[in-house]
Amino acid sequence: MPGRTVLHLDLDAFFASVEQRDKPSLRGKPVIVGGIGGRGVVATASYEARRYGVHSALSTAIARRRAPHAAYLAGRFDAYRESSNVVMGLLRTISPLVEPLSLDEAYVDLTASAWPVDDPIALGEAVAWLRNELCQLTEGLTASVGVGSSKLISKLASEAAKPDGALVLRPSEELAMITPLKVSVIPGVGPATTERLARLGVETVSQLQKLSVNELVREFGRVMGEGLHELAFARDDRLVQHVREVKSISMEDTFAVDITDRAELAAILARDARAVAERLTRKGLFARTIGIKVRHADFSTWSRSRTLNGATDNPERIGQVAIDLLREVQVADGVRLVGVGVSNLTDSAQEELFWEPDAGSDEIPIITQAAPVMRRRHGNEASWVPGMDVSHDDHGRGWVWGAGHGIVTVRFETRHTGVGPVRSLRADDPALHVAAPLMLAVTRSAQQAEFVNEDQFIVSSGSTPDGLNPG
C-alpha cells in the first residue's frame, strides 16, 4: 500500500532487562530468565549471557553448562506486564493503530499519527524522542526501533538496530537492505520452507528474487508462491491490526516429575479445560475444535484434536473431549507435559444437538491437588524461588538469591537503592514475606491509564513451563 509508514518496536532482552533494572547487583552481568529446574527452558537471556551462547528456547541445563556463573531467575510476570503496559500505552499516544505481538514487541501504523512521516530528519528525531520517553517511563528499559513502508521492512530495520538503536529506512533503501539477507527473514519461511528452498538452490533473498512466480507457485502453491515473490521484493501489504484476531487458546503444564497415572492426567486436563473456558468467556468466543498435546518422558510429542458439530465455551464439554482424546495415548512410560487447547473460534454459540453433560460421571475427576508443575506459585511463602520479590520486617525489600536446606538467601536491594547486602535467613522466618513488584512511578500516578489486557498475550500461545511467554 503506497504511502504507508510502519514502526516496529522491540524491547531489548525484555525479561532479563527488567530483572537487571530492578536488581542493581545484576546490571552488566549475565542474567537468564526462564525455567530454573532441570527441565526448564530459557525464556530470555541478557546480552551478557548471549556472549556465552545462551539464547531463548535453549534448555536451562545446557545454559548452565555454557554460563555457570550467570544468575538464573524464575521470572516475575507482574513486573513484565506492568512495563509492557506502560510501553503499549505510550505507543497508543502516538497512533490509534497499535498491534502488540507480545509483551515486548509491537507494530505502529504511523500513517494514522501526527508524526512527520514525510520528513526523514524530523521522523528520526521523533523516534529518538520515543526511545528516550520509553526509557524514562520504564525507569531504564531500552528498545530497538525500525521504521519502513511495511511490517516486513520495519521489523528487519529494528533487528538491524539491535540492541538499543534505531533505523529509519526510506522506500528507496528498502530493497537494498533485504536483498543480501537469508531467506528465513521472510515471514512464513520456517525450517521446512527453508529446506525446500535450499533444494531449489535458494538460501538468500537475492537468489529467491531470481525465481519466477510460476516456479514458486509450482513448488508452493499459488497463495504461498505469489506471497514469497512479493515479499522477496519488499512488497508487503499486511495492515497493522488494532485488535489482533485470537486464533487459539491453550493451557499447558510441565511436570517436575513424570506422571504415569491416567486419572491424575485427566484431572489436570479437566482443570486446564476450565481455565481455557474462562478465557473463552472473557473474550466472548466459542470453540469448534478441541485438542490436547502430550509430551512423553523421551520428549516425543503426541497431539490430537476433534471438531465438534457446534461451538462451545462449556468447561465440562471441553474437558470431556480432552479426556476422550487422552484415552488414545499410552502413559505408562511417563508424561512430562500435557496441555489442552481450543481453536476454530467463533463469536456465536452453536450448541451441539446431541451432547449432554455426563451427570455423575467419574470420567472427569475433580481434585484440588495435582502433580507439581514447573511454575512459580505466588503467595506461597514456603517456596522461595530465585528472583522472587520479598520484604523483611527488619531489613526491608529485596529478592531471593537462592534457597535450600531450610535457608533462603536474600539480597536486600531495589532499583532505587543501589547494590544491597546479602543475608541468609531461615526459610520459615516469620518476618520474611513474599512481596509484589515495586511499581513504576508512572503506574502509581496514572492508575486509570488505558493499559493492555494480559490475555492478549497469553491466549494465543499457551504458557511455558514457568508461565512465561518467551521474549
Give the catalytic positions in this structure. 105
| Cα–Cα distance for residue pair 112/1, rounded to 1 Å | 14
The DSSP letter of residue 41 is B
Element (H, E) at 410: strand 407-411
Q: Tell which residue, 83, 79, 55, has the closest CA to residue 67.
A: 55
| Cα–Cα distance for residue pair 371/359, rounded to 1 Å | 26
Q: Tell which residue, 199, 186, 388, 364, has the closest CA to residue 266.
A: 364
| Cα–Cα distance for residue pair 54/50, rounded to 1 Å | 5
φ, ψ of residue 134 to 5 degrees: the values are -60, -45
Q: Tell which residue, 175, 201, 204, 174, has the closest CA to residue 189.
A: 204
Q: Which three cell numbers stand for residue 348?
A: 456465536
The 8 Å CB, 24+ separation contacts for 50-59 are 50/13, 54/30, 56/470, 56/471, 57/470
For the CA atoms of 446, 448, 453, 454, what is the dihedral angle to 10 degrees? 40
Q: Tell which residue, 89, 99, 86, has the closest CA to residue 7.
A: 99
| Cα–Cα distance for residue pair 104/113, rounded to 1 Å | 21
Q: Write the single-letter amino acid at 212.
A: S
Distant-in-sequence, close-in-space partners of 352: CB < 8 Å, separation ≥ 6: 308, 309, 310, 312, 317
| Cα–Cα distance for residue pair 199/182, rounded to 1 Å | 15
Q: Tell which residue, 228, 125, 116, 153, has the closest CA to residue 1.
A: 153
| Cα–Cα distance for residue pair 432/426, rounded to 1 Å | 9
